[in-house]
Structure formats: C-alpha cells, structure tokens
Amino acid sequence: MPLTDLGPDDLAGYQPSLTAPHDFDAFWLRTLAEARSHDGAVKTERVTSAHLLHTVEVDDVRFPGWNGEPVAAWLIRPRRAERPLPVVVTYMGYSYGRGLPTDHLLWSAAGYAQLVVDSRGQGHDTPDRTTGDGTQWVGGFMTRGVDSPENYYYRRLITDCVRAVDAVAALPGLDPDRVVVAGGSQGGGLTLAVAALAGDRVAAALPDVPFLCHFRRAVRITEEGPYPEIAAYLRRHSPDRAARTLATLDYVDGVHFARRATAPALFSVALMDPICPPSTVYAAYNHYRGEDRTLTVWPFGDHGGGYGCNPPVQLSWLRERGLAPEL
C-alpha cells in the first residue's frame, strides 16, 4: 500500500488554520448542561458468570447520556482488586458497539479497570432514538442530522461519551483521579472530544489514528471509509449545501477539540492509512493544546496503525506518567 497523503517532512509541520465557530464553546457548554439536567442513576448488574470468566469481574452498566437516555457499557476489572483502580474509558470505532466482554480483556490483564462505551445506533444495546429533523442521509452516520449542529448525530454521541466520564464517580472500585480516555479511529476522535470537554477529570488521552479530524480536508481527499459518505451526500444537493454541512462538521471536528484539550496525550498515526489521512491526524496533534503530547508514527501502517505493537507503547507511556495500577 503506498503513502496516501503528504510526505513525512510536510506532515511534521502541518498545522492548518482553524475554522472553529465563534460559539463553539458555548454550544458544548449548553449541550452538556442540558444532558446533565436529566435525572438518571448509573445502574450496574454483575454478569461475570454468564461469560465464564475467572480472572475479571464484569458489570453490565447503564448510565444516562444524551437527553438522559440510557447508554450501555461494560465495566471490566481484575478480580479481587484491593484498592481503587485507574480506569480506561474506551470508545469504539465506526460501526462498532461495545461487543462482548471477551473482546476487551487487555486492559484488565494489565491491572486496569476498563469502561467500554457502546456507540448509540452503531451497537446493539444503545439505540439512537433521535434522528434529527427527518433530513435524508447517505448510508451510515456521517450525514445523519447534518442539516444543523443541533440535529447532528455526533452531537449526541459525543455527549454520551462525556457522560461516561461523569459516570465513573458512581461506579465501584475506580479511581476518579486516574481516568484515561482511549479509542482508535472514530474512538480516537471521540477521545479528543472528551479530553477537551471533560477537562481536568481526564488524566490522559490515547487517540489512535483518530477519525473525525480536519473534515474540510478529509472529505476532499479520502476515497475509503466513512468520509466519502459526506461527499456522496453533497453530490446530491446544490453547492450551497456544502457550506452548511461543513459549518455543522466544524462543531465536532477533532482539531477544534484538540486545541482545547490539556491532558497528557499519546497519539498514533499510520502513514499509509487510506481511511484517516495522516495529515488530518497531524492537524489535530500539531494543534493539541497540552504540552505533554507524544506521537507514535507507524511509517508502513494502514488504518490498523501499529496493531499488536501499539498496546505495549501505551502501557509504557502511562507508567511513565504515574498512571499504572499498583501491582
């Protein structure tokens, strides 16, 4: 697979101009305040035995997300932990939900708790009950409600993801001072959003090959993956729809969130990634506000990034920052 974007020298300094809306911060403050105004308890049910697991405990979690609607998650912890654990709140890639607990055993094997968050409408356990104003979309989720920021699908999903961090305080055995947010692709873009919106409640962020970054470039150069859904949608409308659509996307762009995030962050980028162009990842990384930022570059990586080589890098990086569990 060839390089899919700019060369390494051009990527290193790639820092496009920002196009964040003037009311970006007010929009998200209002959105989260509305979500938090809905009453709703965090509920858990122990389901370990149903999955025949012996070294971990598994809870089926429901916490209030967008509009107070219940969002599903798995809480997976090493069995018989004696003290509160650092927790990795994990967001999923595009079209994936939380899956099964057996899909998510790496972090607990390393001594962490993990909260695996379902993606509304993409997973089987969290429906997307709100679909905007009836605007027709093209396939998937990229253009669902894209007629306005208020109706857009990712407003709801990002809200769910922030509320997952809110839920940590109500879950047993977790250390709310050591919350790590993590995810790859779509999960990486959501990680950047939460790192910005949850502020100092996030101790570290691990965005891998993040999606949802630098839309204004991505939709014009990407041939594979979800971004072409937007181009296909705009192909069916008059040119003035493009300006409105890009203006909506600006409210959920990972570059704008990166500019507001301060937690230590470990990014990864794959230079042969045909789905999340490397320049869009560098745009977020080079605009990241936090001073403690690191970028792992996989020169021959595709959208899988570093595959099995990446977790040891993450574990070592977290240990260096005092975020490893006490063994």
| Tokens encoding 107 | 């972090």
302 is catalytic: no
Would residue 303 show up in a list of annotated catalytic residues for this protein?
Answer: yes
Let me know the angle formed at the C-alpha of 308 by 305 and 312, rounded to the nearest 5 degrees.
100
What six digits make up the tokens of 230? 């937007």
Can you tell me the distance from the alpha carbon of 191 to that of 194, in angstroms, rounded to the nearest whole number?
Answer: 5
Catalytic position from the list 104, 214, 256, 303 = 303
Which is the catalytic residue, given 250, 273, 279, 287? Answer: 273
10 Å CB burial of residue 326 (0-12, 13-18, 19+) is exposed
Catalytic-residue membership of 185: yes
Q: Where are the beta strands (DSSP E) in the chain?
A: 43-46, 56-64, 70-78, 85-91, 113-117, 174-184, 204-208, 265-270, 293-298
Nearest to 104 by CA among 62, 65, 59, 70: 59
- Cα(157)–Cα(155) distance, integer angstroms: 6
List, as one string, the DSSP characters of 70-93: EEEEEEEEETT--SPEEEEEEEPP
Catalytic residue among 185, 214, 250, 253: 185
Paired with 57 in beta bridges are 77
Q: Which residues are catalytic?
A: 185, 273, 303
